[in-house]
């Protein structure tokens, strides 16, 4: 059964996703569809923030990115790694953290400072 599932999953897996870890600052370029019918338009919208968590395995693997939006309101989005709506993922800064899940960043007021990883 495992072989059959792996064979089906290989058709949908993306290979161009870089290695990301919690604490990294990333820019995720998301395909957004606007309009309906003939007026249907597709554009790419960047979402830039800090990776708070990574969960799952295989095709179900996803990561959560948090950014501070207008009026210092936190915005979190969950992105599946192998989603067709993700155009590309860029790692802007590699963060050095001691935890796998950075939920404590939800309570931080002001600027978030994370040390940079040197690898």
**Under-70 pLDDT residues of the chain:** none
* pLDDT value at residue 81: 92
Domain 20-109 has CATH 1.10.287.610: no
Cβ distance 91 to 79 under 8 Å? no
How far, CA to CA in Å, does 109 sit from each of 45, 104, 106, 119?
26, 11, 8, 29
* pLDDT value at residue 97: 95
* pLDDT value at residue 87: 92
Sign of CA dihedral 5, 86, 90, 100: negative
Domain ranges of the chain: 20-109
Q: Which of 54, 51, 32 is nearest to 42 (CA)?
A: 32
* pLDDT value at residue 27: 97
Question: pLDDT tens-digit profile of 90-113?
Answer: 999 999 999 999 999 999 887 888
């Amino acid at each position: 059964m495992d072989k059959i599932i792996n064979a089906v999953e290989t058709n949908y897996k993306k290979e161009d996703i870089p290695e990301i870890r919690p604490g990294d600052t990333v820019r995720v370029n998301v395909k957004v569809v606007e309009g309906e019918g003939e007026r249907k338009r597709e554009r790419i919208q960047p979402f830039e923030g800090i990776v708070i968590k990574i969960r799952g395995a295989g095709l179900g693997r996803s990561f959560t990115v948090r950014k501070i939006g207008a009026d210092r309101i936190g915005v979190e989005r969950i992105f599946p790694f192998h989603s067709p709506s993700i155009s590309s993922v860029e790692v802007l800064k590699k963060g050095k953290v001691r935890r796998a899940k950075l939920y404590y960043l939800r309570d931080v007021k002001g600027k978030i400072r994370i040390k940079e990883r040197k690898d």
